[in-house]
Amino acid sequence: MIFILFSVSSYGQTLTRGPYLQMGNQTEITLRWRTNVASDSRVEVGMALGTYPKVTTINTPVTEHIVRVTGLNPDTKYFYRIGTTTTILQGAPDNFFTTVPPPDTKRKVRVALFGDCGRSDDVYQDENLSNYISYLSTNGIDAPDAWLLLGDNAYSQGTDAQYTTKFFGIYGDNILKNHKLYPAPGNHDYGNDETLKPSRAIPYYNIFSTPEAGECGGVPSNKPNYYSFDIGNIHFLSLDSWGVESDLTEMGTAGTSAIKTWVINDLAANTKKWVIAYWHHPPYTKGSHNSDSESELVDIRQNFIEELESRGVDMIVCGHSHNYERSYLMKDFRGNWSTFNLATNAVSSSSAKYTSSSTCPYVYNTSPSDHGTVYVVAGSSGASGTPKSGFGSGAFPWSVEDGGVFYLEVEDNRLDARMLRRDGSVFDQFTIMKDVNISRTMNILKGTSVTLSASWPATGDYTWDNAATSRSITVNPPPGTTNYSVTDDYGCVTDNFTVNALAVLPVQLTTFKVYLNDEKVNVDWTTSSETNSWYYKVERSIDASNFETISTVNAAGNSTVIKNYSITDGRPLKGTSYYRLAQIDQDRHVKYSDIKRIVNSKGKNFDIKLNVSGEVLNISFQSTTSDKVSLKVYDLSGRTILTQNWTINRGLTQDQVILPKGVNILKFITANNETVIQKIMIE
């Protein structure tokens, strides 16, 4: 029998705020709460309700409890309870969180955005919350992967007392317990006070913990008011559109500014497919604010958003106006509302609602990055306002004067967004697809089969020219060239495949050898014939999954005689590593060899001892030098289920992680490229 402990008090201690979830990444999360009297802090975490093997304790007595839990598995649901070393304050079934999925996740990533949610003097806040919770329940979603706040989170001065009643008092008994929260500030969080813009001496920065040091991905900003983070294959930028930096610049400053410099550096380092930026003040609006006449909005539009559009930001979401507004996919529009020209400022004139052949999604490639951006104003989660003249026209025809929550889902190269209106309806929806409408040529041996897959996740059936309706089909074409195509439900997206069934492949690889030679690795291969071959790549990996190119070699082109090739890896990885050969022909077709494994045990500086106790793996590092060690854990399918990093000192360093049940493949690698691989079974 499992006993679940709810709110309990001891020696007069009670919860006065929280718990709430901050700075969530793949393996770590911060839990915060407030108590009426000071005590130590304890968080207990486990993968099953009622079982909490992972315990994190901070002994310093405080009333503001901030506990960072580490050593978790990516994309894993955990239950938790909070309290002290002697008292459990909360541990109910809705006290849970799911860690962030890795970038290569195949499932949908879900994100909720609340703009101007902290008013609490309007039915909008209650009705939006009720409708949002109902939407999650109806769609079988326990919680999204991220909850983003667009600013003005507690009206009207953002005081601590107003946060207690108008934010924590509204959301504390429901979604705050299980939604990972990533906030942005608004002018009311600054007390709507110009004099507080440089100092940031406001409760907001004491209430929220933000990943300013890059704890959740992205380039560290080292500023609490703007930062970036990653959720799956989405890169987010949470920005401050009201504060002033120490160099007296702000978001709308012309020329160089602190926030602009960081944004440029952060986007240059980004490798995720999707980029979404959010902040409070919208560059375009005719809702309860006017972007034609309000100087801070004009300045942001004219001096800042170009840095985002030109670097591939897919969507910009803001609050401030207490309405909902959504633009076309557009770029290079910096003028006043009435100057918008559909032919020149919109990349596409579609609504992108994706409900018919006339409302096709926005489609573009990830590169080049200057592909256009969708702008959304979603400032009505807890507030209402009277629109200005021009509302619902020009660049923003999909607009409504009503409360709602903005919600989006990303699955691989497809993004679906919708406005959940407070009456339970969906007012607006749109879809973006990237890197679709592909044309691909494939060379195979005649008499063999090949699997073809559509490049997009579908809503309904796929339509292949051979009448198949699944995303992937396997074909065995006759000798020669055969063409195949697949189209979506509405004829909006089509992939084309050309399959050449050949008597002889462009390259006949007869040998591929990888072997140690002293402290180096030799890679040799031989071909008996080559037709239209272009070049070879020798690739190396520490995990047999993610490969890097270490050498390229020109191919013979056309040859009917034996050709011998060889390269030397003069700086091989220590421990276990893997090699493969990529053959690229002049049609850009790529074929990979078998993977070869090498164990290089010379010169190792550290040893690892592992001890399993239930789900907890106890790790002991014994090193002859200071080093950095990273751990990746895979299941038998090769899916990454855990990543963790340590800085170890000379001598003994110990830590622990929680592993899921089943077979876990552990791969440790140091900054000096020493690698250790272990297989662990958790019963």
Q: For residue range 344-386, list pLDDT tens digits in order.
A: 999 999 999 999 999 999 999 988 788 999 999 999 999 999 9
Q: For residue range 595-652, list pLDDT tens digits in order.
A: 998 877 665 666 777 888 777 888 888 777 778 888 888 877 667 778 888 888 777 8
Residue listed under structure tokens 């390259």: 507
CB under 8 Å, gap of 24 or more: what pairs does 223-230 form? 223/258, 223/262, 224/200, 225/185, 225/200, 226/259, 226/262, 228/266, 228/270, 229/25, 229/182, 230/25, 230/100, 230/103, 230/272
**Domains parsed from the chain with CATH numbers:** 15-98 (2.60.40.10), 109-426 (3.60.21.10), 439-502 (2.60.40), 507-600 (2.60.40.10), 606-682 (2.60.40.10)
CA distance 461 to 488: 7
447 SS3 class:
coil
CA distance 481 to 443: 9
Handedness of CA 180, 185, 190, 195 (dihedral sign): positive
Q: For residue range 295-346, list pLDDT tens digits in order.
A: 999 999 999 999 999 999 999 999 999 999 999 999 999 999 999 999 999 9
Q: Percentage of the chain surpassing pLDDT 90?
A: 73
Q: For residue range 653-678, list pLDDT tens digits in order.
A: 888 888 888 888 888 888 776 777 77
152 pLDDT exceeds 80?
A: yes
168 pLDDT exceeds 60?
A: yes
Give the pLDDT band (50/70/90) at residue 2: very low
pLDDT score for 598: 86
4 pLDDT exceeds 60?
A: no
Least confident residue range of 5-19, 223-237, 518-532: 5-19
β-pairing, 234-238 vs 274-279, is: parallel
548 pLDDT exceeds 70?
A: yes
* The model's pTM: 0.79
**How does DSSP classify residue 560?**
S
Question: Chain-wide mean pLDDT for the chain?
Answer: 91
CA distance 175 to 181: 10
pLDDT score for 625: 76
| Four-CA torsion 273, 279, 281, 285, nearest 10 degrees | 40
Average pLDDT over every residue of 33-48: 96
CA distance 16 to 34: 6
**How does DSSP classify residue 175?**
G
* 508 alpha carbon, distance to own chain's centre: 41
pLDDT score for 673: 67
pLDDT score for 671: 75
Residue listed under structure tokens 């799911």: 98
pLDDT score for 10: 46
Amino acid at 293: S
Residue listed under structure tokens 């890679």: 523
Q: Longest Cα pair distance anywhere in the chain, in angstroms?
A: 87
Cβ-contact 566, 522 below 8 angstroms? yes
Give the pLDDT band (50/70/90) at residue 5: very low
**In degrees rounded to 5, what are phi and psi of residue 547?**
-105, 150
CA distance 68 to 70: 6
Give the pLDDT band (50/70/90) at residue 120: low
Contacts with 652 (C-beta within 8 Å, 6 or more apart), sequence order:
620, 621, 622
Amino acid at 583: Q
Closest CA to 629 of 667, 668, 596: 668
* 69 alpha carbon, distance to own chain's centre: 20
pLDDT score for 602: 65
pLDDT score for 524: 96
